[in-house]
Structure 1
Amino acid sequence: MTVSMDENSKIQMLSAASKDKKAATDRSLIEKYHLGPLALHTGLVLSCVTYAVGGAYLFLAIERPEEMKRRERAILEFQDLKDQFVGNISFRLDPERNLEIYTKKLMYFLEDAHNAHTFEHFIVQTGIPKDMWTFSSALVFTTTTVIPVGYGYIFPVSAYGRICLVAYALLGIPLTLVTMADTGKFAAQLVTRWFGENMAIPAAIFVCLLFAYPLIVGYILCSTSNITFLDSVYFSLTSIFTIGFGDLTVRLFLKLQLSFAGFQPDMNVIHMVVFLAVGVILVTITLDIVAAEMIDRVHYMGRHVGKAKQLAGKMFQLAQSLNMKQGLVSGVGQLHALARFGMLVGKDDVEKEVTEDGVIAFSPDVMDGLDFVDTLSIYSRRSRHSAGNSARNLFLS
C-alpha cells in the first residue's frame, strides 16, 4: 500500500514537472515570436468584423419587414394617382391642367427614397426588381456606420431601427477607431523596425502610397462603371478620409449593385469593405509616421535653437566685456592726455608769485573783475581806525 502511494506521488510530480516545462516552453515561444501583441491585434480585427456582420443581420431583420410594408403602400398610392389621372381624362377636364396636377403629385410621391426605389424597380420595371435591404447593402451600411463614412445610400426608417442605430454607433465607432489606430500603430512599428531610426524614407513612401491609392481605386471604379475618372477619384478620396458626402454614392451603387440577372454583375461588397478599411488604415499609418517624423524634427530644431540661444548669450556677454575693456582703456588714455595738457598749461601761462614765507598764491586771469576780499570787512576796519567816520558816512561814501 505504501509503495503504491509513493508511485502515485512520483507520477503526480512528474506530470506537474512536465506541465511546468510545457508552460515555460509556450511562454518562451510567445515571447520569442511576439505572439501576445499579434493575438491582441488579431482579436481586435476579428471583433470589429464580427460586430459589422452581426449588425448587418440585425438591421436586415429589423428593416426588411418595414421595407415590405412601405413597398405595398407605395404601389397602392401610385395606383390611386394613376386612377385619378385617368378619371380626370374621362371627365374631359383640361388635359394640360390635369397633366400638370398629376406631375406635381408624382414628383411629391417620388421624394421619398422608398417610393422612388419602388417606382423604379417594381412599377415601371425598367430596371431589375431588387430589395433595398439585402445582406450586402446591410453590410455596407454597418461598415460605413462604424468606420464612419455614412454614405446615406441606405438608412433605417423604422423607430426600432433608428434606436438600434444610435446604440450600435455609440459602441461600434469607438471600437473601430481603436482597431484602426492599433493596426496603424502596429504597422508603423514594423516599418520602424525595418528602416531603423531613419523615418524620412518610410514617411515619403507612405505619402506616395496615400496619393496613389485613390488614383488606383478611381481607375478601377471608372473601368467597372459608367462614372468618370474624376468622379471615381473624388469618391475614393471622400471615402478614405471618412468625409462621405454621399453625392455620388446613389449613382454608383445603382450602377454597381445590381443582381446577377441584370446587365452588370453584382458589386462585390467584400471589395468595398476592404477598400474602405485599407484606405482608412493607410491614412492612419501615414499620419502616424509623418507626424512622428515632424515632431522629431521640431524637437531637434527646438534643442538646437536652445543651444543657439545659449551661445548667443555668451557671445553677447563677451562683446559687452570687450566693449567695457576698450572703454576703460580709452578713458585712461584720455585722462593721461588731459593731465599732460594741464601740466603744459601750468608751465607756460600761470604766473607764480613767491611770498616771503615761500607760499605761492594762484590768481586766475579769467576772474580779474571779481573781488576776492569782503568789502564790508574793509569798511568796518576803516571805521574802527578812523574816529571821525560814522555809519552814515560809511554807507554814503
Structure 2
Amino acid sequence: MTVSLVEENAKIQMLSAASKDKKSTTERSLIEKYHLGPLALHTGLVVSCVTYAVGGAYLFLSIERPEEMKRRAKAIFKFQELKDQFLGNLSSLQPETDRILETYTKKLMYMLEDAHNAHAFEHFIIPNGVPKDMWSFSSALVFTTTTVIPVGYGYIFPVSAYGRICLVAYALLGIPLTLVTMADTGKFAAQLVTRWFGENMAIPAAIFVCLLFAYPLVVGWILCSTSSITFLDSVYFSLTSIFTIGFGDLTPDMNVIHMVVFLAVGVILVTITLDIVAAEMIDRVHYMGRHVGKAKQLAGKMFQLAQSLNMKQGLVSGVGQLHALARFGMLVGKDDVEKTVPEDGVIAFSPDVMDGLDFVDNLSIYSRRSRHSAGNSARNLFLS
C-alpha cells in the first residue's frame, strides 16, 4: 500500500514537471515568434523616458514654484513703488517732466530684464493682463522635455540654487537616457523598414528624406492655422525644434501634449533618416572601396607581371649578346681573314665569313638553334 502511494506521488510530480516544461516551452516559442523580448525592451525604454520627464516636471515644480511666488510678490511691490514715485515726482515738479519720464522709463526697462519681473508685469500689473503662473505642470513638463531631448527653448529656467544643482544632475542622467531611447526607437523602425524593403535601402532612404522635409511644412501649416505666428515662422520654429537647435525666440500657442509629441516624433524621424541614409552612404563607400581595392590588387599583379617579363627579356637579351660577342671573338681570331692596306697606312680586316656573324642585339641564337650544329665552336665555348 505504501509502495503504491509513493509511485502515485512520483507520477504526479513527473506529470507536473512535464506540464511546467511544456508551458515554459510554449511561452518561449510565443516570445520568439512574436519578438516580444525586443519589443519589451523598446517599450521599457520609452516608458522609462516618459516617466523620467514627468517625474522631473513634478520635482522642478515643487522646487521652483515657491521661489516664483516670492519673486512675484517682490516684483509687484517694486513696480508699485516705482509707479508711486513717478506719479509723485510728476505732480510736484512740472517743469522737469521730460527728465522724470526718462528716468522712470530707464528704471522700468531695467526691471523688465528679469524674467520673473517681466512675467509679473505682463500678467499681474498691466490692466488687461491675465493672471498666469510661470511654473505650472505643463510648463514644467515642457521644461524637462526640452532639457532631456535636448532643445532648450529657455522659456522658463530654474533660478534657485537648489533647482540649478538638481538640473545638472537631472540633465546628466536624462540626456543619455533620452538619446539612447531615441536612437533605439529609430533603429527599431529602421530595421522594420529594412525587412519590408529588403536589401535595397535606396527607396526607404528617399522616402524618409522626403518625410523629413515634409514634416516641418505640415507642422508649420498646423501652427500657422492654430496660432498667431506666420507660416514662415512656424516652419522656422519646426526646423529649429526637430534638429534640437531651439533658439527660443518664438513662443507659439501650442498644447503641452502636442508640443511633446511633436518634438518626440520629429527627433525620432531625424534619427531614422540619418540612420538609413548614413547606412546607405556607408554601404556605397564600402562598395567603392572594395572595388578600388580589387583594382589596386589587379594593377599590382599586372605591374609585377610586367616587371617579370622585362626581367626575363633582359636576361634573354643579355645571354644573346654574350653569345654574339663570343661568336664575334671566335670569328675575329680565325686565320683565314683578308688583311688589306689602304693608302693611308691603316690596317683593317674583314671576316671572310659574314653569314655566321650574329649582331649584338640579335636574339636569334635561341630561335635558330635548329640551324646551328651542336658542335659550333663559339656556342660550345660559351656554354662549356
TM-score normalized by structure 2? 0.79
Moved more, 151-160 or 37-46: 151-160
Partner Cα separation in structure 1 for residue 266 and residue 94 of structure 2? 58
Partner Cα separation in structure 2 for residue 396 and residue 20 of structure 1? 88
User: SS at 2:363's partner residue?
Assistant: helix
Shift of 1:95: 5.6
CA contact (8 A) 2:332 2:351 kept: no
CA contact (8 A) 2:338 2:352 kept: no
Shift of 1:248: 1.9
Partner Cα separation in structure 2 for residue 189 and residue 178 of structure 1? 16
Shift of 1:130: 0.9
Moved more, 235-244 or 358-367: 358-367
**What is the CA deviation profile of residues 153-210 of structure 1, one whole-angstrom value per residue up to 9, with x for unaligned ones?**
0111112211111111111111111111111111111111111111111111111111
Shift of 1:2: 3.0
**What is the CA deviation profile of residues 11-67 of structure 1, one whole-angstrom value per residue up to 9, with x for unaligned ones?**
343333222211111111001111000000000000100111111111111111111
2:3 counterpart residue number: 3
Moved more, 57-66 or 5-14: 5-14
With over 3 angstroms needed to count, the CA separation of the structure-2 counterparts of 1:375 and 1:353, relative to structure 1, is farther
Q: Which runs of 5+ in 1 are unaligned?
A: 250-264
**What is the CA deviation profile of residues 329-373 of structure 1, one whole-angstrom value per residue up to 9, with x for unaligned ones?**
888999999999999999999863899999999899999999999
2:332 counterpart residue number: 345
Partner Cα separation in structure 2 for residue 303 and residue 386 of structure 1? 57
Q: Which runs of 5+ in 2 are unaligned?
A: none
User: SS at 1:382's partner residue?
Assistant: coil
User: SS at 1:348's partner residue?
Assistant: coil
Moved more, 369-378 or 95-104: 369-378
With over 3 angstroms needed to count, the CA separation of the structure-2 counterparts of 1:344 and 1:31, relative to structure 1, is closer
**What is the CA deviation profile of residues 87-144 of structure 1, one whole-angstrom value per residue up to 9, with x for unaligned ones?**
1123xx2565111111111111111111111111111032321111111111100100
User: SS at 1:245's partner residue?
Assistant: coil
Moved more, 322-331 or 75-84: 322-331
Partner Cα separation in structure 2 for residue 146 and residue 169 of structure 1? 6
With over 3 angstroms needed to count, the CA separation of the structure-2 counterparts of 1:69 and 1:337, relative to structure 1, is same
Partner Cα separation in structure 1 for residue 140 and residue 80 of structure 2? 30
Does residue 381 (structure 1) correspond to residue 383 (structure 2)? The answer is no
With over 3 angstroms needed to count, the CA separation of the structure-2 counterparts of 1:342 and 1:134, relative to structure 1, is same
Correspondences of 1:99-178 after superposition (within 5 Å): 99-178=101-180
CA contact (8 A) 1:379 1:394 kept: no
Partner Cα separation in structure 2 for residue 239 and residue 136 of structure 1? 18
Moved more, 306-315 or 345-354: 345-354
Partner Cα separation in structure 2 for residue 4 and residue 382 of structure 1? 106
Shift of 1:227: 1.6
With over 3 angstroms needed to count, the CA separation of the structure-2 counterparts of 1:338 and 1:134, relative to structure 1, is same
Instruction: Report percent identity of matched pairs.
Output: 92
**Which of 1 and 2 has greater Rg?**
1
CA RMSD between the two structures: 13.5
With over 3 angstroms needed to count, the CA separation of the structure-2 counterparts of 1:19 and 1:119, relative to structure 1, is same
CA contact (8 A) 1:89 1:95 kept: no
